[in-house]
Amino acid sequence: MLGYAGTILYVDLTTGKTRTEKLSDDVAKKYVGGIGLGMKLYLSNSKAGVDPLSAENPLVLAVGPVSGTMFPTGGNGHAFISKSPETNGVGEAVSHGTFGAELKRAGYDAVIFTGKAEKPVYLWLDDDAAQILDASQIWGKSSGETEDAIKNEIGDYYVRVASIGLAGEKLSKISSIFNEKTRAAGRTGLGAVMGSKNLKAIAVRGTRDIAVAKPDEFITMVKEFHERMKGPAAQKYRTLGTSENIMVQNQLSCLPTRNFNNAHFDNAQKVSAEALNERYITKIIACNSCAMRCEHEAVIREGTYKGTQARMEFDSVWALGPNCGVDKLDAIIKAAELCNYYGLDATSAGVTVSFVMDCHEKGILTHEDLGGLDAHFGNADALVQLIEKIGKREGIGDMLADGVKIASEKIGKNSSQLAQQIKGLEVTGYDLRCLKTAALASAVSFRGADQNRSGAYTIDLKGKVDRLKAEKGRGKLVKDAEDTYSLIDSLIICKNAKGTLYNELSDMAKLYRLVTGYEMTSEELTVAGERINNLAKLINVREGKSRIDDTLPWKVLNQPITDDGPAKGAVVTQEELDLLLDDYYQARGWNVEGIPTKAKLKELGLEEFSSIIEGKEA
Amino acid sequence: MVKVHERKFVSADPEKCVGCQICEYTCSFTKEKAFNPLKSRIRVVRVNQLANMAVTCRLCEAPACVAACPRDALTQSEDTGNIVLDKDKCNGCGWCIEACDYGAIMLHPETKVVYVCDMCKDKADGPQCVKWCPEEAITVVTSDVLAQKARIGAIKKLFQEPEEKK
């Protein structure tokens, strides 16, 4: 078995016992790796209806077949999969860095954590040797501090660590799992799942060789991708970075501003990628094996926030900036640093702050409710203070630390209309009212509101379709985009490198063949992508989700864009959403309730899970 | 025989290095047909996000590793300046590792003798890390060239307009 390590590690945190199982060829080929393999292992090792923060909910960590090789961006990823405490459906999040490569070199394709440790612990994987060690001394520390402390304790500075911060320990449902200080498996609240298991960190040292099936052809392919990464496909990432989209979207009036009260931010220039790079970006660094380095490191050298340092991307700039009406970059960078420090998903945290500001301006949360905080839109100090409170679960932060859906349920007073979330997961920085392919994709996304399950916004932004129109045909576009993204997250290639896959599926199939030696055609890989999406859907169906959950935030459905410009008046009506959903389910071969049919499961080789749809598929 | 100051070695520019570790993969693949940083003759250090640097043998003029070896297993080639190991004499004691200020000589995880950059002497196109580095951060230099570069940089700074100085 090449590419794959061939081993799955089971860690029972209740008993402290570990065991390994072989990864079968069949499972490897069917589910590829990463989120595909992880969701398969999750489904086969869990029961329906468990509390996501209980000992009964397993947490899966998985790498892909190319992890540990030098395929640019492909060598360095890892994925966490579980039931999300935010969505109560499938939770998954991918991160990059070096951790994934190290885990592969230690000899594992996946690690499954079950049960709950009595006291705070961390897992130390030293190749074959798996030990559960005491973490009481590092409990309470940030991920960065944890990493340093573990390296010191073990006495090896090349050990790689993934860990949670204070937010994960305190079971914040918007907490993430961080690795190498700046990288995060950010979304769906998996930090809280780790926290609920008293699992502070996973530290790995892997010393094995990674060999590929066809080394000479593989190296030639790597060289070709290095060349592609010097070209236009990677230019944005190499130069201004992902935050370039701030201005691009602002011009198209699809930059959600002040919690979706606007779709255009008048002060966008002040938080643009140009401003960020000019004043704060000090260094651009790379993940392991990557030839198109994109990680923009911002440093604040003077003023109130002197000494602040954070990695900045479109998502964090948007969520903490325009989305909160904040135009002060130094405060945005400080807020992002605090998210890293406490271990919060910066997107969800930013959307939570914008929700509070919206509630405050509409009189739903008073000055007193907020402990004296003047949380109007644009108040940069309030932004920083709210993130701090959420990170520590302090004061109002306690109620907010589980994201906007739960907060709005506690607040009542129709505040749910201001909660920008789908399936419980906070939205990302794309105004879905005027990006209707993206609106469909967000509604059906198995992990909840997110652009990273399909990247469908690019279909709208690039003008391949009329972005303001809901029409038949979008279902197929979204389905295909989702299947491709699921493969990217299963091989684990970076989505920022998607543009360098000139021939998406045939490039991926070739990579898979050269690394693993298994025959795999583009067509077979396409089916694997569809299989992985159906698998995710099966987890959601098992947890009771159906068409009613494939919906959009209240504002997207009810409050048209008011800004003058290309998107004025845009909204997604329920009729439009229904049309799009029908079209999508049809393209997927699912019934009108969005449930996969028996025939579809048979076609995809997922019969073993057909009991899940029993009685629901008619 | 080459004059000492013309000795060529591999050096990374910390301004350009992004910490991608492609040099490590390239090296281990070139030398051992495997992807494994532990078998690379060049290693990347990321002290923090802002400080990244690849480090390998600098072919020192008075190599401490050679001096430290009690078994005379290490010598420096008069022709190239490369550090050459007599595998039969090396017992993996690690004195050379302790002596090297740069962490450039390491104990091989399998052969249990030390290994160090040999400038890819068997490759017609020279050190493969230089060829593969996507940031062009790694180059083959002489101490003379390094001094020249430093000199030029310093003088450029001196003649910069005040507002350009940062």
Report the pLDDT value the prediction gives residue B1, as an integer from 0 to 100: 54
Query: pLDDT above 90 covers what percent of chain A?
Result: 98
Q: Which residues 270-329 of A are in CB contact (within 8 Å) with B?
A: 282-293, 295, 297, 299, 309, 311
Whole-angstrom distance, CA of residue A348 vs CA of residue A173? 9
Task: For domain B7-56+117-166, give the fold.
Answer: Alpha-Beta Plaits (3.30.70)
Stretch among A10-24, A241-255, B3-17 having the lowest mean pLDDT: B3-17
Tell me if A465 sits within 8 A of A474, measured CB to CB: yes
Assign 3-class secondary structure to A335-373. Answer: HHHHHHHHCECHHHHHHHHHHHHHHHHCCCCCCCCCCCC
Residue A195 CB contacts under 8 Å (≥ 6 apart), including other chains:
A53, A164, A168, A169, A170, A171, A175
Kindly list the structural domains of chain A, giving each domain's residue range(s) and its CATH number in brackets, ordered by start. Answer: 7-205 (3.60.9.10), 231-426 (1.10.569.10), 464-564+571-613 (1.10.599.10)
Residues of chain A contacting residue B34, judged by C-beta atoms under 8 Å apart: 209-211
State the best of A209, A214, A217, A302 to mutate against chain B, taking most chain B CBs within 10 Å.
Answer: A209
Higher pLDDT, A314 or A464: A314
Query: What does the pLDDT look like over A196-238, one tens digit per residue?
Result: 999 999 999 999 999 999 999 999 999 999 999 999 999 999 9
- What are the backbone dihedrals phi and psi of residue B77, each rounded to the nearest 5 degrees, phi first? -65, 130
Q: What is the CATH code of the structural domain delimited by B59-116?
A: 3.30.70.20
Residue A75 pLDDT: 80
The CA distances from residue A327 to A257, A267, A503, in Å, are 11, 6, 40
Two tokens, residue A415: 């505040």
Name every chain A residue with its beta carbon within 8 A of the beta carbon of B18: 283-286, 293
pLDDT at A298 over 90: yes
pLDDT score of A307 more than 80: yes
Say yes or no: B165 contacts chain A, CB-CB below 8 A: no
Which positions 343-402 of A are in contact with B (Cβ < 8 Å)?
Answer: none
Task: State which H helix or E strand residue A254 sits in.
Answer: none
What are A204's strand-pairing partners? A125, A160
| Mean predicted confidence (pLDDT) in A285-307 | 96
Distance CA A229, CA A548 (A): 42
Average pLDDT over every residue of A581-591: 98
* Domain boundaries of chain B, sorted by first residue: 7-56+117-166, 59-116
Say if residue B166's pLDDT is above 60. Answer: no
List strand residue ranges (DSSP E) for chain B, in order.
Answer: 9-12, 43-48, 51-55, 74-76, 83-85, 106-107, 114-115, 138-141
Average pLDDT in chain B: 93
Mean pLDDT of B94-110: 96
Give the 3-state secondary structure of residue A417. Answer: helix
In percent, the amount of chain B with pLDDT more than 90 equals 83
Which candidate, B13, B159, B161, B4, places its Cα nearest to that of B80?
A: B4
Instruction: Indicate if the pLDDT at residue B163 is higher than 90.
Output: no
User: Quick check: A72 and A25 in contact, CB under 8 A?
Assistant: no
Query: Which of A295, A226, A206 minimizes the C-alpha distance to A71?
Result: A226
Q: What is the ipTM of this complex?
A: 0.94
Query: Chain A contacts of B37, Cβ < 8 Å?
Result: 158
CA nearest to B18 within chain A: A285
Are B7-56+117-166 and B59-116 in the same CATH fold? yes
Per DSSP, the three-state class of A279 is helix
Q: What is the pLDDT of residue B4?
A: 55
- Which pLDDT band, with edges at 50, 70 and 90, does B164 fall under? low
- The residues, ordered by sequence, that sit 6+ positions from B11 with a Cβ below 8 Å of its Cβ are B58, B138, B139, B140, B141, B146
User: Residues B87, B89, B93, B99: what is their CA dihedral angle, to the nearest 10 degrees?
Assistant: -80
Confidence of residue A269 (pLDDT cuts 50, 70, 90): very high
Q: Report pLDDT for A247.
A: 97
Q: Of the candidates A211, A282, A289, which has its C-beta nearest B22's C-beta?
A: A289
pLDDT in tens, A41-83: 999 999 999 999 999 999 999 999 999 999 999 889 999 999 9
